[in-house]
Amino acid sequence: MPRLFKLLVAASIVVSSFSTAARALDTIHVRFSWKLKGEYGFFYLGKEKGLYQKNGIDVILGEGAGAQAALGGLVRDNEDVVIVPAIFAISAIEKGMPVKLAAIYQERAPMAFISWPDKQAATPAQLEGMSLAVSVGDPATTYLDVFCALNKISCDKINKVQLDPQLKFAQFMQRRVDLISVYTNVDLPLVEERTGKKFAVLDLPKFGLGVPGLAVVASSKGIAEKPDLLRRFLAATAEAIELTRSEPAMAAAALKKAWSAAPSDELIKAQIVATSETMTSGQAKPVGWIKDKTISDALGLLSATEHLESAKPLADFYTNELLTK
């Protein structure tokens, strides 16, 4: 009996330990700005490989319906962090939304104009005389005037065709417009797989258009109340980003498990590889480190298309404190 009693006590201690460990995980709710795509693959690889759990986090990942909706949910405390293009967060902060950028993974969003090889625009000058699909909320066309000024071309010589974002691909395929904007890490692999064709690519960042892309945003309240949780989340995400660089197929497989009606393995992997190539390496500074210049340049872009109410200090827009131990 004494031996049996000791075994029972030992077993109860083990069970209790596991229960305590499970309870010790802090839940963090993450909302993306859009539906699943290869761009988000590193989050799913990090979750599958236990990187968040190792940092004491149970991460809940959710699809979104636009950057504004995600940011609104963040302010209402429905989410702990949101993953959105940084330019939308900067615009919202300038208008008074109580949130801050906690990490920027793409200093320049990988945007491009694509055209047919037999009528291509591979340089800015070749845009003149061509038709371009433009859509409300599309950063590539929103800042077209800035791009034209940077490259000393006339935007008046580009035929801008206003289209619903859902229609622009079909119009391009029917050759009713010469050019459409794409994200080269997500849209371009998808278009090429669907059509079996290679298109001429005008890389916008290469020609000076620097619109900050993929970023982590937290509420000012969350930063004040849960700094340790957010710090652990960003540390685990940095590990996930680096693991994804070396194991893109593994990341594709992890993402596919959560993606109903997922596209082909090859497409998901192509999106993941292309995304990794656009992200900061974290060699000199932690992955996601935010520079003053990134914010000030973004504000310059916004001032070209929006009326900025006041000149907020750059520190109002971001913090790097959560990226340091």
Tens digits of pLDDT across the chain (325 residues): 455 444 444 445 444 444 434 458 999 999 999 999 999 999 999 999 999 999 999 999 999 999 999 999 999 999 999 999 999 999 999 999 999 999 999 999 999 999 999 999 999 999 999 999 999 889 999 999 999 999 999 999 999 999 998 899 999 999 999 999 999 999 999 999 999 999 999 999 999 999 999 999 999 999 999 999 999 999 999 999 999 999 999 999 999 999 998 999 999 999 999 999 999 876 789 999 999 999 999 999 999 887 777 678 999 999 999 997 6
Topology of domain 111-207, per CATH? D-Maltodextrin-Binding Protein; domain 2 (3.40.190)
- Distance set, CA 299 to CA 51, 72, 321 (Å): 35, 21, 22
Give the C-alpha separation, 205 to 210, whole Å. Answer: 5
Q: Which residues contact 117 (CB under 8 A, 6 or more apart)?
A: 198, 199, 200
pTM score above 0.95:
no
Q: Which helix (H) or strand (E) holds 179?
A: strand 179-183
**C-alpha dihedral (137, 86, 242, 274), degrees to nearest 10:** 30
Closest-CA residue to 215 (of 112, 319, 111) = 319
Q: What is the spatial order of strands in the sheet that 179-183 belongs to?
A: 159-162, 131-134, 179-183, 111-115, 200-203
Architecture field, domain 25-108+212-323: 3-Layer(aba) Sandwich (3.40)
List the beta bridge partners of residue 161.
Answer: 133
Which spans in the chain are helix H? 2-24, 41-48, 51-54, 67-75, 86-94, 139-142, 144-150, 168-173, 187-195, 220-225, 227-246, 248-258, 265-278, 292-305
What is the location of CATH 3.40.190.10 in the chain?
25-108+212-323, 111-207
Distance between CA atoms of 132 and 180, rounded to whole angstroms?
6
